[in-house]
Amino acid sequence: MSSLIWLQAGGCSGDTMALLCAEQPDITEFIKQTGLELLWHPSLSSKSPAAFQREIDEIAKGGRELTVLCVEGSIETGPNGTGYYDTIFGRPKSELIRALSLAAAYVVAVGTCASFGGVTAAYPNPTDATGLQFRQYNPGGLFDSGWRAKSGLPVVNISGCPAHPQTVVGVLGMLLKNRPLDLNQWNMPSEYYQTLVHQGCTRNEYHEYDAEETQFGHEGCLFFNLGCQGPLTLATCNSQLWNQRSSKTRAGVPCLGCTMPDFPRAAPLFSTEKVGEVPVILPLGVSRPNYMAYKGLAQAAAPERIANRRMKP
Amino acid sequence: MAKKIRLNLNRVEGDLELELSLGGGRVEDAWCIGTLYRGFEQIMINRAPMDSLAITPRVCGICGTAHLMSAVHALEKAFSIPVPPNATRIRNLCLMAEEVQSDCRQTFLMFCIDLCHPAYAALPGFPETLEAFEELKGRIYRQTVQHSKKILEIVALFGGQWPHSSYMVPGGVTALPSLRPIGEAESIVETFISWYEEAVLGGTLEAWLEVRTAEDFEAWISEPSRAASALAVFTRACRAIGLHQVGAGVGLYLSYGAHPEPEKWMPPYTERACLRSPGLFDASDGSFHPFDQALIAEDISHSWYHDRQEAPKHPFLSETLPKYKPDGDRYTWAKAPRYGGRAVQTGPLAQFLVLGDPLIHSLLKQHGASAWLRQLVRFHRPVSTLLAMRDILRELASPALSSGPYILPARLGEEGEGFGLVEAARGSLGHWVRIKEGRVAKYQIVAPTTWNASPRDRQGRRGHWEESLIGLPVESEENPLLVGHVIRSHDPCLVCTVHFVQSGRSFRFGG
């Protein structure tokens, strides 16, 4: 029987709350279908913390197997390297995470905080927070970059603020069924992170024809002025909708790039830095000269229905 | 001599430790200690003011919509930015969806599973309690997982996703006026209402509204056809344990007022015309008092912060500068907010006492405040909330309103200060922001759990949770069930309590 422990560190429980919104399977079905024993979840378990403490000891001593350790929230290493900004049973939570990581076949960072540091590690990083195996784009966090769990995999990063619930149940399902899991350079599973948020955005035509918005509450593209990171962000938000219904960009909210290691970036989040008419940072992999040429043509080629915002996103 | 024990508590969204002093098998004194510090207010300094719409919802994964609403209200207040009535309708609708979600998940996923503890196996009705509420397996538990996520689809329809979107922006909401999401949302509300009537209440919302006294309530739950309703099973289980007699806490109830009235919500935002009115209710003499945000002050006499004057300060003046000082009578880094110098409790019970709800006042007269009554309001509140959601959607679809606008052009100035006060699902939430040279110069958040879980103040008076535990029987030192029931009846959210940091006692223990 597979077993899973979920720990929450420096975070907001948002990944758990998002996970409660998973469909096909929802969490109760997921547990049933995978035959999973949920040993501990701080928001869901009725077990007492004291009973959990005894189980931890048993697992750490090798008396009991642990298949998956999920960590939500960043690892707070402050103040002064003590880890006492976030404790459990009177000890830094990082100690518990370390002990259980050594015992687990798979270690999974759920959400951007656990993967890369996330909001908790945003400047000036008051708690000296880090991800499990990365600090933003830099390899090495609580564990150095060469660390491997018992299965041979590094920490699997299911980033996102919050992590998309369908990605979480999808990746956990692959691990529990022993399916091969290809990881990208930031240890995010390629199955779910080889898609841009831009793919499937219902404002795509406005982007193609360079129909730019400068104010919220309109139909056009949010990339050029309002800070949208959709063309730069690896996630399934527009190909697997949120809450089965929509996505931020569909609702007129710029993508904030929340799956990426540098989230939240220091620059103002709701505006696009530009040189002249052109954003400083272009869609993923696009060269500046090509983009300049394309942009001029695109605007000129825009059909009237796009220029006049006739199409509903 | 009194014995001290230290307890960890889960299912409180974040981490909580309690230190209890026991004598004669009862709690003689209590200290509340959060064990997580996150520093959001420091992260906001020097950022673009709009960034608060992305950063502060991430304080909390359960009530991010409430934080978003507080943040956008603070900016609109600071720069006198008007909001079209339809935007207020959509904001209210989304916050209501989050509130209904939170009330149901808190009740059935966080609170009721404790009623299934094996220690209660000999109590009458235990098999029915288990059938309804058992963790992951119970009938109502599983239905709650299903239905709580459906109601949140309304937030996604207008805001893109739940949790953590930023669709409320100064001047309105980002969604475009359209009848399509309104029709879909109506269907979601009606499906939810059907479940709620059948499984939770055992009767229609309209019939429930006629339940206005403690006697009406008795009649409702003793009706045999309703025996399997969540409300009846819950009430029988709580009474068998005695939860209607414990956990009153301080007798002063605070509400900032919930869901502003769309047509009256406009600059300078001094009048708080709300669907659920703001105010203070004093249970000692049954008196009602108007709400004044100037009376809020943060006391840090028992908390480890840099403080030059030691006097309680209004959030505009207070600072969040952690400083560890192991000696003396400071025992936590939680701040102690006080209203007019007094400890208060906040949450749905406070909200409904402040607005003068007849049923809740009648039940208060019957047995006083208790863990059960606090939890019962979370069965009662969704009724009026769901009906209000139905009304909002009907208004939004009406020919006069359906074309919008949902937003007005808005510009933030370079200098200003404002505050945003809302009722999150678990109580009164406030953001205070000061902007200088176009950047955030100061950001302070006082969350509901900060009020409820506050430590002692300068006069040595306990915070509300600490007070609510005094005298409670402790049957098991490893897992005192009554303590858990009382604390969880507050729908605690420790991740929201942004000021909490590790207590000094554990600091010495570990270091």
- How many A×B Cβ pairs under 8 Å? 247
Q: Is the pLDDT assigned to residue B138 strictly greater than 80?
A: yes
Domain boundaries, given as residue ranges, for chain A: 3-193, 196-313
pLDDT of amino acid B510: 19
Q: Which of A265, A10, A3, A223 is nearest to A113 (CA)?
A: A10
Q: pLDDT tens, A216-238?
A: 999 999 999 999 999 999 999 99
Residue with tokens 């030192």: B477
Q: What is the pLDDT of residues A171-228, one digit of tens each?
A: 999 999 999 999 999 999 999 999 999 999 999 999 999 999 999 999 999 999 999 9
| A89 vs A194, higher pLDDT | A194
Report d(CA A216, CA A231) in Å as an integer. Answer: 19
pLDDT of B503 > 50? The answer is: no
Of B10, B43, B157, the CB nearest to A122: B43
Residue A15: list chain B partners with CB under 8 A: 61
Please report the residues numbered 249 through 308 in chain A whose beta carbons come closer than 8 angstroms to any beta carbon of chain B. Answer: 249-253, 256, 258, 264, 266, 268-271
Stretch B193-217: mean pLDDT: 98
B170 token code pair: 């100064």
B303 bridge partner residues: B332
Q: What is the pLDDT of residue B478?
A: 80
Maximum alpha-carbon separation in chain A = 70
Mutation for B interface: A33, A222, A246, A312, most B CBs within 10 A? A246
- Range name among A157-166, B18-27, B148-157, B228-237 with the lowest pLDDT average: B18-27
| CA dist., res. A249 & res. A251, Å (int) | 5
Q: CATH for B3-510?
A: 1.10.645.10
Between B371-397 and B358-367, two packed helices, what is the crossing angle to 10 degrees? 180
Q: Residue range A234-246: average pLDDT?
A: 97
Q: Which residues contact B434 (CB under 8 A, 6 or more apart)?
A: B316, B416, B417, B440, B441, B442, B443
Q: Is the pLDDT of residue B289 over 70?
A: yes
Q: What is the pLDDT of residues B54-82, one digit of tens each?
A: 999 999 888 999 999 999 999 999 999 99
User: What's the pLDDT at B398?
Assistant: 97
What DSSP assignment string belongs to B134-175? -TTTSHHHHHHHHHHHHHHHHHHHHHS-SSS---EETTEESS
Q: How far apart are CA B107 and CA B199, in angstroms?
A: 14
Domain limits, chain B: 3-510
Helix (H, G, I), strand (E, B) or coil at A182: coil
Percentage of the residues of chain B whose pLDDT score is greater than 90:
78
pLDDT recorded at residue B41: 87
Q: At what angle do helices A27-34 and B139-159 cross, to 10 degrees?
A: 120
- Percent of chain A at pLDDT > 70 equals 100
Q: For residues B268 and B77, is the Cβ–Cβ distance under 8 A?
A: yes
Contact list, B42 vs chain A (CB under 8 Å): 124, 126
pLDDT tens by residue, A90-147? 789 999 999 999 999 999 999 999 999 999 999 999 999 999 999 999 999 999 999 9
- Is beta strand B345-346 parallel, antiparallel or unpaired with respect to B252-255? parallel
Dist. CA B190–CA B151, nearest whole Å: 10
Shortest Cα–Cα distance, B154 to chain A (Å): 9
Split at pLDDT 50, 70, 90, the class of A286 is very high
Joined tokens for residue B413: 């100035």
Residue B27 has pLDDT above 80, yes or no: yes
pLDDT at B502 over 60: no
Instruction: Tell whether B511 lies on the interface with A, counting CB pairs under 8 A.
Output: yes
- Identify the top-confidence range among B64-78, B307-321, B324-338: B64-78
pLDDT on residue B504: 34
Strands (DSSP E) contained in chain A are 3-8, 37-40, 66-72, 75-76, 87-88, 91-92, 104-110, 129-130, 134-135, 138-139, 156-158, 274-275, 278-279
d(CA A122, CA A33): 38
Subunit contact A42:B58, Cβ cutoff 8 A: no
C-alpha B95 chain-centroid distance: 12
By percentage, how much of chain B surpasses pLDDT 70?
A: 92
- Give start and end residues of each alpha helix (H) in B178-261: 179-195, 205-209, 214-222, 230-241
Which 31-90 residues of chain A touch chain B by CB within 8 A? 31, 38, 42-46, 48-52, 76, 79, 82, 84-90
Structurally, at CATH architecture level, domain A3-193 sits in: 3-Layer(aba) Sandwich (3.40)
Q: Does residue B251 contact residue B77 with C-beta atoms inside 8 Å?
A: no
A27-34 and A165-176 helices, crossing angle to 10°: 10
Which residues are B443's β-sheet partners?
A: B433
Residue B508 reports pLDDT greater than 50: no
What's the pLDDT score for residue B495? 67
pTM: 0.96
The rounded distance, in Å, linking the Cα atoms of A284 and B431 is 37
Closest residue, chain B, to A266 (C-alpha): B47
Q: Which residues of chain A are within 8 Å of residue B495 when distances are taken between CB atoms?
A: 11-13
Q: Considering the domain A196-313, what is its CATH architecture?
A: Irregular (4.10)
Q: Which residues are CB-contacts of B270 (< 8 A; sequence separation ≥ 6)?
A: none
**Among the listed ranges A64-78, B14-28, B348-362, B462-476, which one has the minimum average pLDDT value?**
B14-28
Complex ipTM, two decimals?
0.97
**pLDDT of B93-134, one tens digit each?**
999 999 999 999 999 999 999 999 999 999 999 999 999 999
Could you tell me which of B491, B370, B492, B462 has the C-alpha nearest to residue B21? B462
